[in-house]
Amino acid sequence: MKALKEKSDLELIQAYVAGEEAGIEILLNRYKTKIYTSIYLQVKDEYLAEDIFQETFIKVINTLKSGRYNDEGKFLPWVVRIAQNMVIDHFRKAKRSPTVVSSDGYDIFGVLEFADESAESKLVLNQRNVDLRKIIQRLPDDQKEVLIMRHFCDMSFKEIADITEVSINTALGRMRYALNNLRKMIEEHNMMMNLG
């Protein structure tokens, strides 16, 4: 077991595919915190995150056993990409927007509270939170994905580029477009609110 723990990801995958069950166990233990955290920061529900984490590893195991794994040396980005797709699928099925969470685990909108709130200001703030979530959901998927990974999962552009399988420049470009589109949509939304 000790010798197995020192092996590379690829060696552990090869050992697992060859019938050494401990290979997948070591990989799971090696990366479970990073993968679980990336899921939890998007769904903000530990039971749901645990379910998606387990579904992710079932998919990983099925792919490895079927011999379809071919991302040599990129095991973690590959698994995080699967987890991201599972989260996206979950939200598509649930038809609701993800909670927007900061890197320290707080709902961004939950933190934006004023000291002495009247019922009216709470109502306005809640409406603003709902509106911002709706606006984020209107972004194209590739832009929304980069925005969530960067601001709410606290990932570097290199990590985002690896996971989304694009260049760093493409990831940066998607982020720039996402921010520009958000700004435009917020301005349009505010104009509509003022007219209404």
For residue 179, give the CATH number of its domain: 1.10.10.10
The confidence score (pLDDT) of residue 110 equals 43
Range of the domain at 83: 1-99
Same domain, 8 and 87: yes
Which of 131, 122, 132, 181 has its CA nearest to residue 152?
132
The confidence score (pLDDT) of residue 112 equals 40
The confidence score (pLDDT) of residue 108 equals 43
The C-alpha atoms of residue 93 and residue 26 are separated, in whole angstroms, by 32
The C-alpha atoms of residue 152 and residue 80 are separated, in whole angstroms, by 15
Query: Hey, what are 145's tokens?
Result: 């994905």
Mean pLDDT by 10 residues, the chain (196 residues): 81 90 90 84 84 92 88 78 85 61 46 45 56 74 79 74 86 90 81 69
Same domain, 76 and 169: no
Same domain, 94 and 141: no
The confidence score (pLDDT) of residue 104 equals 46
Query: Hey, what are 4's tokens?
Result: 């197995």
The confidence score (pLDDT) of residue 153 equals 61
Under 8 Å between Cβ of 16 and 24: yes
Number of domains in the chain: 2
Same domain, 95 and 135: no
Same domain, 92 and 130: no
Say which DSSP state 8 is in. -
The confidence score (pLDDT) of residue 53 equals 93
| Domain final residue, candidates 99, 132, 147 | 99
Same domain, 12 and 91: yes
Same domain, 183 and 136: yes
Please give the helix or strand (H or E) that residue 31 lies within, else none. helix 22-43
The confidence score (pLDDT) of residue 107 equals 46
Say which DSSP state 105 is in. S
Same domain, 25 and 91: yes
Question: Does 123 reside within a domain?
Answer: yes
The confidence score (pLDDT) of residue 118 equals 53
Same domain, 1 and 85: yes
Question: Does 187 reside within a domain?
Answer: yes
The confidence score (pLDDT) of residue 142 equals 84
Exposure of 127 in the CB half-sphere (CA atoms within 13 A) = 9
Question: Does 52 reside within a domain?
Answer: yes
Same domain, 72 and 163: no
CATH number of the domain where residue 53 is located: 1.10.1740.10
Same domain, 61 and 149: no
Question: Does 110 reside within a domain?
Answer: no
Same domain, 5 and 48: yes
The confidence score (pLDDT) of residue 72 equals 64
Task: Count how many residues are written for the chain.
Answer: 196
